[in-house]
Amino acid sequence: MLVLESLTKRFGANLAVDRATFKLDRPIMLGIIGRSGAGKSTLLRMMNRLTDASDGSLMFGGRDVLSLKGAEKRAWQSQCAMIFQQFNLVPRMDVVSNVLHGTLNRRSTFATLFNLFPSDDIHRAIDILDRLGIAQHAPKRAEALSGGQQQRVAIARALMQDPKIILADEPIASLDPMNAQVVMEALRRIHEEDGRTVIANLHTLDTARRYCDRVIGMRDGRIVFDGTPAQLTTGVARDIYGADETFSEEATSTEIRDPQGAAGRMHAPA
Ligand SMILES: Nc1ncnc2c1ncn2[C@@H]1O[C@H](COP(=O)(O)OP(=O)(O)OP(=O)(O)O)[C@@H](O)[C@H]1O
């Protein structure tokens, strides 16, 4: 289904992603972990074609994704919709219009300029919001919602594109533990109920273990671990994070009991 072969990205002399190679042969929920700067975002951005790869190949369903141009490239970007840590919504626009913006790729400039949305799309947007438990917020401005609700709006916008793959770049890094759990559960349900592949960059081990079928660990641009959550032992995690024996899993935890909770991103000590 999805095959990465030696996918590489260089920024000048800096090798951000170094020959990333893996294969997904069925829809799964995949977590990518690693410390800050390991190359996780760059890998996702290459997969979505937001960033051009320097080398290597990316195939999906037998198609060469890296050679797609123009409309075909945009179609691919809809098929592997991306969500971001900071939600990337239009804050002053109402929730349902934000969700409908997920259909922009297939609408005319005129329709876009005047916010003319077909009623079928509007109904579908409300249905998706309902599924994510936030339909009651549809008329509100996006900025009036909590972070967890805004991230679910971003997921709804991605789902409007009916993607085969959802690429989530640190989807819960700005959220408190309770909202983080709601968002991760939503992504898991989307995978299980719709059969979509979800690939999420995560900075916490426990989240990767709890929600993902498979975990990839990156260090200095390289994939240094690829296995099941059960194989992700503390020793393996220590290698991925480049930490010594003082490495504590709790330093990468967002469990609800975590008193620092919303304090933000926590990376393992160097
Ligand atoms: N646009 C860019 N120009 C130059 N260097 C970049 C650019 N984007 C990323 N890098 C570099 O590539 C490397 C990998 O960065 P990347 O953001 O992919 O890591 P990451 O694992 O996602 O980290 P984080 O968790 O902090 O987002 C880093 O050394 C970073 O400085």
Phi-psi region of 162 (alpha: psi -120 to 50; beta: other; left: phi over 0): left
Q: Is 259 a domain residue? A: no
Q: Report the CATH number at residue 161.
A: 3.40.50.300
What's the pTM? 0.89
* 260 domain residue, yes or no: no
In this structure, is residue 29 part of a structural domain? yes
Element (H, E) at 4: strand 2-11
pLDDT at 160 over 80: yes
> pLDDT at position 18, please?
98
Cβ–ligand 1 contact at 14 (below 6 Å): yes
Strands (E) across 89-227 are located at: 165-169, 197-201, 214-219, 222-227
In a domain, 12, yes or no: yes
pLDDT surpasses 90 at 111 = no
Taking 60 as the threshold, does the pLDDT of residue 193 lie above it?
A: yes
Q: What is the pLDDT of residues 194-216, one digit of tens each?
A: 999 999 999 888 999 999 999 99
Ligand 1 neighbour 42 (Cβ under 6 A): yes
For residue 136, give the amino acid letter: Q
- Residue of 8, 9, 11 to test ligand 1 pocket, by largest number of atoms within 8 Å of CB: 11
Please tell me the distance from the alpha carbon of residue 234 to that of residue 268, in angstroms, as a whole number: 12
Instruction: With CA atoms as reference, report the closest residue to 120 among 132, 140, 106, 141.
Output: 106
Residue 28 falls inside a structural domain: yes
Q: What is the pLDDT of residues 161-192, one digit of tens each?
A: 999 999 999 999 999 999 999 999 999 999 99
**267 within a domain of the structure (yes/no):** no
Instruction: Tell me the CA–centroid distance for residue 39 and ligand 1, in Å.
Output: 6
- What distance in Å separates the CA atoms of residue 197 and residue 187, rounded to the nearest whole number? 10
Give nearest CA residue, ligand 1 atom 6: 11
Structure ipTM:
0.96
pLDDT band at 243 (very low <50, low <70, confident <90, very high): confident
- The enclosing H or E element of 194 equals helix 177-194
pLDDT for the residue 263 = 35
Domain count, the chain: 1
- Site of tokens 């249905």: 127
The residue range of the domain holding 100 is 2-254
Please state, in angstroms and rounded to a whole number, the distance separating the CA atoms of residues 249 and 160: 37
Among protein residues, the one with the nearest Cα to ligand 1's atom 5 is 11
Q: Above 90 in pLDDT, residue 27?
A: yes
Residue with CA nearest ligand 1 atom 29: 37
Atom of ligand 1 nearest to the CA of 203: 25
